[in-house]
Homo-oligomer: A and B are copies of this chain.
């Protein structure tokens, strides 16, 4: 298929291991996805065993690399589970595998889930964060940092209400380090750049999908890594959040989902332009 002929703004029903092969080379600006976690979601992709997880992902990773444009990005949201008191290592193995396949591990963003799943155990606290790996094909990739700047107002407001020790220490070190002066430069500024920690609550509204990530998560990465008209791909679309957000931001989208019930749900959500149906 020629790139120029490629259809966009569509949801494809099927196994991404097959569907991806039908896409042309270098046709996607951003991949944002959250694959089924090991040993979970038993009915789609057969509930991949942790020991086979990264091997299962290899052909997918290769296809994703092929369809991504040279200056594009691949955002992978994942978190290993605890089992018998230990964290699984399949996610770490996956990073090493992706690197061997030629992906560059650019960054690891932390999604801090403020409303994480409740529960209590003798030697474990609640898991309230997930990994968002950022992989690229090249050192130089597209990044529009200004698109995700955050108002300094919120930050400053929080600081005023809840000052921390180092705020005062910084003032003391004003004369010596110059750091204090830099902080002074921030005063009066309207917007600042964010960090690599994202504070987003999980989705609690019922979208009939057990693993939907919040719209703010793909939104942040789509704004950061694409501009209007760019193509966003999610090979594990689920209930369609990535496509929905891409559409609302005037990006083109391609979504692939293996379960027909989720395909229908995603199409319904896209039609209504509503997160919740």
Contact = CB atoms under 8 A, between A and B. Distances in A.
A147 interface: no
B115 A204 contact: no
A145 B123 CA distance: 8
Interface stretch (A6-14, A51-59, A194-202, A245-253): A194-202
A92 B85 contact: no
Contact of A104 (B85, B92, B173, B179): B85
A135 to B, nearest CB: 10
Contacts of A126: 193, 195-196
A47 B165 CA distance: 32
A127 B206 contact: no
Nearest to A196: B125
A87 B34 CA distance: 21
A179 B119 CA distance: 9
Contacts of A210: 176
B89 A99 contact: yes
Given A106-B86, A129-B197, A202 B166 contact: yes
A177 B196 contact: no
Interface stretch (A136-144, A227-235, A258-266): A136-144
A139 B118 CA distance: 22
A186 B108 CA distance: 33
